[in-house]
Amino acid sequence: MQLSSYKPPREEPGESNWAAFRETQAQLQDLVPNSGMAVTIDIGNANDIHPITKEEVGRRLSLVALAGIYGDRMESSGPTYDHMEIGDGKIRLHFAHVGAGLVANGGGPLKRFAIAGGDRKFVWGDARIDGKTVVVGSAEVPEPVAVRYAWDINPDGCNLSNTTGLPASPFRTDDWPLKFTEQ
Protein backbone atom coordinates (compact mmCIF):
# COMPACT_ATOMS: atom_id res chain seq x y z
CA MET A 1 0.00 0.00 0.00
CA GLN A 2 1.33 3.42 -0.94
CA LEU A 3 1.68 5.94 1.88
CA SER A 4 -1.57 7.78 2.38
CA SER A 5 -1.91 11.48 3.14
CA TYR A 6 -0.88 12.73 6.57
CA LYS A 7 -0.41 16.01 8.46
CA PRO A 8 -1.81 19.38 7.35
CA PRO A 9 -1.73 20.15 3.61
CA ARG A 10 0.38 23.01 2.31
CA GLU A 11 -1.23 25.97 0.62
CA GLU A 12 1.39 26.26 -2.14
CA PRO A 13 3.12 23.57 -4.22
CA GLY A 14 6.62 22.59 -3.19
CA GLU A 15 9.03 19.78 -2.45
CA SER A 16 7.89 16.80 -0.41
CA ASN A 17 9.86 13.94 1.09
CA TRP A 18 6.68 11.91 1.34
CA ALA A 19 5.77 12.46 -2.30
CA ALA A 20 9.28 11.37 -3.30
CA PHE A 21 8.88 8.22 -1.21
CA ARG A 22 5.50 7.51 -2.83
CA GLU A 23 7.21 7.84 -6.22
CA THR A 24 9.76 5.22 -5.14
CA GLN A 25 6.97 2.93 -3.96
CA ALA A 26 5.26 3.23 -7.37
CA GLN A 27 8.53 2.47 -9.19
CA LEU A 28 9.18 -0.64 -7.08
CA GLN A 29 6.17 -2.49 -8.44
CA ASP A 30 7.85 -2.43 -11.86
CA LEU A 31 11.09 -3.80 -10.40
CA VAL A 32 9.82 -6.45 -7.98
CA PRO A 33 8.21 -9.48 -9.66
CA ASN A 34 4.69 -10.45 -8.56
CA SER A 35 4.11 -7.23 -6.68
CA GLY A 36 1.55 -4.46 -6.89
CA MET A 37 0.40 -1.42 -4.98
CA ALA A 38 -2.87 0.03 -3.76
CA VAL A 39 -3.06 3.84 -3.79
CA THR A 40 -4.65 5.37 -0.68
CA ILE A 41 -3.78 9.04 -1.17
CA ASP A 42 -7.48 9.97 -1.19
CA ILE A 43 -8.43 8.25 2.08
CA GLY A 44 -5.67 9.41 4.39
CA ASN A 45 -6.05 11.02 7.77
CA ALA A 46 -4.27 14.28 8.60
CA ASN A 47 -4.18 13.36 12.30
CA ASP A 48 -3.08 9.73 12.05
CA ILE A 49 -0.76 8.02 9.60
CA HIS A 50 -3.21 5.12 9.28
CA PRO A 51 -6.30 5.56 7.09
CA ILE A 52 -9.56 5.27 9.00
CA THR A 53 -11.37 3.41 6.19
CA LYS A 54 -9.69 0.02 6.58
CA GLU A 55 -12.40 -1.73 4.54
CA GLU A 56 -11.59 0.39 1.47
CA VAL A 57 -7.85 -0.22 1.91
CA GLY A 58 -8.57 -3.97 2.03
CA ARG A 59 -10.82 -3.78 -1.06
CA ARG A 60 -8.11 -2.03 -3.07
CA LEU A 61 -5.44 -4.49 -1.94
CA SER A 62 -7.74 -7.39 -2.90
CA LEU A 63 -8.11 -5.94 -6.42
CA VAL A 64 -4.32 -5.87 -6.73
CA ALA A 65 -4.11 -9.50 -5.61
CA LEU A 66 -6.99 -10.72 -7.79
CA ALA A 67 -5.61 -9.07 -10.94
CA GLY A 68 -1.90 -9.53 -10.33
CA ILE A 69 -1.72 -12.93 -8.71
CA TYR A 70 -4.88 -14.69 -9.77
CA GLY A 71 -5.05 -13.15 -13.25
CA ASP A 72 -8.61 -11.82 -13.02
CA ARG A 73 -9.33 -9.37 -15.81
CA MET A 74 -10.33 -6.25 -13.91
CA GLU A 75 -9.01 -2.77 -13.33
CA SER A 76 -6.94 -2.97 -10.16
CA SER A 77 -5.24 0.41 -10.35
CA GLY A 78 -6.17 4.02 -10.70
CA PRO A 79 -4.66 6.13 -13.48
CA THR A 80 -0.87 6.09 -13.63
CA TYR A 81 1.11 8.73 -15.50
CA ASP A 82 2.48 7.50 -18.85
CA HIS A 83 3.71 10.48 -20.89
CA MET A 84 3.04 14.12 -21.75
CA GLU A 85 2.80 16.44 -24.73
CA ILE A 86 3.49 20.18 -24.62
CA GLY A 87 1.63 22.56 -26.92
CA ASP A 88 -0.18 25.90 -26.96
CA GLY A 89 1.08 26.81 -23.49
CA LYS A 90 -0.38 23.69 -21.89
CA ILE A 91 0.67 20.16 -21.00
CA ARG A 92 -1.46 17.17 -22.01
CA LEU A 93 -1.00 14.16 -19.73
CA HIS A 94 -1.58 10.58 -20.87
CA PHE A 95 -2.25 7.71 -18.45
CA ALA A 96 -2.35 3.94 -18.18
CA HIS A 97 -5.19 2.28 -16.24
CA VAL A 98 -7.82 4.70 -17.47
CA GLY A 99 -10.49 2.01 -17.83
CA ALA A 100 -13.63 3.52 -19.31
CA GLY A 101 -12.37 7.03 -18.63
CA LEU A 102 -11.13 9.64 -16.20
CA VAL A 103 -13.25 11.46 -13.61
CA ALA A 104 -12.88 14.10 -10.94
CA ASN A 105 -13.83 12.00 -7.93
CA GLY A 106 -16.65 13.78 -6.09
CA GLY A 107 -17.30 16.07 -9.05
CA GLY A 108 -16.08 19.61 -9.53
CA PRO A 109 -12.75 20.70 -10.96
CA LEU A 110 -9.56 18.65 -10.78
CA LYS A 111 -7.36 19.68 -7.86
CA ARG A 112 -3.72 19.49 -6.77
CA PHE A 113 -2.07 19.83 -10.19
CA ALA A 114 1.01 22.07 -10.17
CA ILE A 115 2.81 23.31 -13.28
CA ALA A 116 6.25 24.84 -13.86
CA GLY A 117 8.26 26.44 -16.62
CA GLY A 118 12.00 26.32 -17.17
CA ASP A 119 12.55 28.21 -13.91
CA ARG A 120 11.37 25.08 -12.04
CA LYS A 121 8.97 27.09 -9.87
CA PHE A 122 5.67 25.31 -9.46
CA VAL A 123 2.32 27.10 -9.22
CA TRP A 124 -1.16 25.63 -9.05
CA GLY A 125 -2.40 24.78 -12.51
CA ASP A 126 -5.84 24.68 -14.04
CA ALA A 127 -6.50 21.06 -14.96
CA ARG A 128 -9.35 19.57 -16.95
CA ILE A 129 -10.20 16.16 -18.30
CA ASP A 130 -10.20 15.91 -22.09
CA GLY A 131 -11.23 12.40 -23.14
CA LYS A 132 -8.71 10.01 -21.65
CA THR A 133 -6.15 12.75 -20.99
CA VAL A 134 -5.75 15.68 -18.60
CA VAL A 135 -4.77 19.13 -19.87
CA VAL A 136 -2.96 21.44 -17.42
CA GLY A 137 -2.11 25.10 -17.88
CA SER A 138 -1.65 28.36 -15.99
CA ALA A 139 -1.55 32.00 -17.04
CA GLU A 140 1.48 32.28 -14.72
CA VAL A 141 3.41 29.71 -16.79
CA PRO A 142 3.19 30.59 -20.50
CA GLU A 143 5.86 28.03 -21.49
CA PRO A 144 5.30 25.00 -19.26
CA VAL A 145 7.75 22.11 -19.06
CA ALA A 146 6.57 20.01 -16.09
CA VAL A 147 3.55 18.98 -14.03
CA ARG A 148 3.23 17.44 -10.60
CA TYR A 149 0.09 15.91 -9.16
CA ALA A 150 -0.66 15.37 -5.47
CA TRP A 151 2.97 16.17 -4.66
CA ASP A 152 2.65 16.83 -0.93
CA ILE A 153 2.63 14.98 2.39
CA ASN A 154 -1.13 15.63 2.38
CA PRO A 155 -2.48 16.60 -1.04
CA ASP A 156 -5.93 17.17 0.44
CA GLY A 157 -8.58 17.27 -2.24
CA CYS A 158 -6.61 15.43 -4.94
CA ASN A 159 -9.38 13.89 -6.97
CA LEU A 160 -8.25 12.33 -10.27
CA SER A 161 -9.67 8.81 -10.62
CA ASN A 162 -10.78 6.39 -13.27
CA THR A 163 -14.45 5.47 -13.65
CA THR A 164 -13.99 2.47 -11.34
CA GLY A 165 -13.31 4.97 -8.53
CA LEU A 166 -9.64 4.09 -8.09
CA PRO A 167 -7.47 7.18 -7.47
CA ALA A 168 -4.49 8.26 -9.53
CA SER A 169 -1.12 7.73 -7.93
CA PRO A 170 0.80 10.96 -7.21
CA PHE A 171 3.38 11.67 -9.91
CA ARG A 172 5.73 14.16 -11.49
CA THR A 173 6.67 14.56 -15.14
CA ASP A 174 10.07 16.10 -14.40
CA ASP A 175 13.28 14.35 -13.43
CA TRP A 176 14.76 17.32 -11.61
CA PRO A 177 16.83 16.58 -8.51
CA LEU A 178 14.63 16.65 -5.44
CA LYS A 179 15.42 18.85 -2.49
CA PHE A 180 14.68 16.91 0.66
CA THR A 181 13.43 19.01 3.53
CA GLU A 182 11.78 18.37 6.88
CA GLN A 183 8.00 18.30 6.79
pLDDT reported for residue 182: 56
pTM over 0.85: yes
**What residue spans define the domains of the chain?**
17-172
List, for the chain, all residue ranges whose pLDDT scores fall below the cut of 70. 181-183
Indicate the DSSP class of residue 10: P
Angle at 151 between CA 145 and CA 152, to 5 degrees: 145
Torsion, Cα 74 54 95 128, to 10 degrees, reads 120
pLDDT at position 181 is: 67
Q: What pLDDT is recorded for position 68?
A: 82
pLDDT in tens, 77-130: 999 999 999 999 999 999 999 999 999 999 999 999 999 999 999 999 999 999
Selection from 48, 160, 143, 21 nearest residue 90 by Cα: 143
pLDDT of residue 72: 86
